[in-house]
């Protein structure tokens, strides 16, 4: 971690008490946000593994994967707008990559909007490489860039 998040942070498994904050971050982060109900449902899925980064009790961001056999798929990740570019996303992604590997995944895949420069830069800096594209994937318009990384 870069040290721009204070010392009093922790990456911990997402629990029901985090759902409201995660949904608020999500609403401010993407054109197609997951609702509180959807986030809560993710916590109940056996294949899902979600983490939050908390700083002094406040949720600064969250991220999750679905683990199916030897493949982990990045499900979602979002950081509070006023705390972006401080290493929160990277800390969450590192925790997810580590945990996926520990749980036996051999690779992680993800899909990201072509126009999402911040997320694409984060993933590229973490070693993800573009594998393919799906035109008109989001809202029938925006291209999805598929990326992958061996673990
Ligand atoms: C993508 C997102 C999660 C990144 O979180 P973050 O906490 O701001 O990212 P970090 O501070 O850990 O950045 C790590 C690296 O990613 C890259 N990066 C992150 N944001 C960037 C930006 N706006 N422009 C260029 N590079 C960026 C940089 O390489 C950065 O390292 P550096 O700051 O040392 O240069 C955040 O921008 C976000 O919540 N976006 C909206 C939701 C979203 O797009 N989620 C992904 C869906 S696929």
Kind of pairing between the strands at 107-113 and 58-68: unpaired
Question: How far apart are alpha carbons 127 and 121 in whole angstroms?
Answer: 10
Look at 5-14, 64-73, 83-92, 125-134 and tell me which has the smallest mean pLDDT: 5-14
Determine the average pLDDT of the residues in 66-75. Answer: 96
Q: pLDDT exceeding 70 applies to what percent of the chain?
A: 98
Residue 106's contacts (CB-CB under 8 Å, 6 or more residues apart) are 70, 71, 150, 151
Q: Are 99 and 49 in contact (CB under 8 A)?
A: yes
pLDDT above 50 for 145:
yes
pLDDT at position 2 is 47
Question: How far apart are alpha carbons 36 and 130 in whole angstroms?
Answer: 31
Question: How far apart are alpha carbons 45 and 133 in whole angstroms?
Answer: 28
pLDDT at position 35 is 97
Ligand 1 center to residue 119 CA distance, Å?
Answer: 5
pTM above 0.85, yes or no: yes
**Pocket perturbation via mutation, ligand 1, pick of 119, 124, 127, 130 by most ligand atoms within 8 A of CB:** 119
- Tell me what the pLDDT averaged over the chain comes to: 95
Ligand 1 center to residue 74 CA distance, Å?
Answer: 15
Determine the average pLDDT of the residues in 12-41. Answer: 97
Q: How confident is the model at residue 112 (pLDDT cuts 50, 70, 90)?
A: very high
């Amino acid at each position: 971690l870069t040290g721009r998040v204070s010392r009093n942070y922790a990456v911990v498994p997402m629990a029901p008490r985090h759902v409201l904050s995660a949904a608020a971050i999500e609403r401010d982060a993407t054109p197609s946000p997951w609702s509180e109900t959807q986030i809560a449902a993710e916590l109940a899925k056996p294949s899902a593994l979600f983490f939050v980064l908390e700083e002094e009790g406040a949720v600064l961001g969250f991220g999750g994967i679905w683990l199916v056999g030897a493949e982990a798929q990045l499900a979602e990740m979002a950081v509070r707008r006023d705390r972006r570019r401080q290493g929160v996303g990277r800390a969450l992604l590192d925790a997810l990559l580590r945990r996926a590997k520990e749980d036996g995944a051999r690779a992680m895949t993800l899909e990201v909007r072509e126009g999402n420069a911040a997320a694409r830069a984060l993933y590229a800096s973490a070693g993800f490489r573009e594998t393919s594209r799906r035109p008109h994937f989001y809202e029938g318009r925006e291209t999805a860039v598929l990326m992958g990384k061996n673990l």
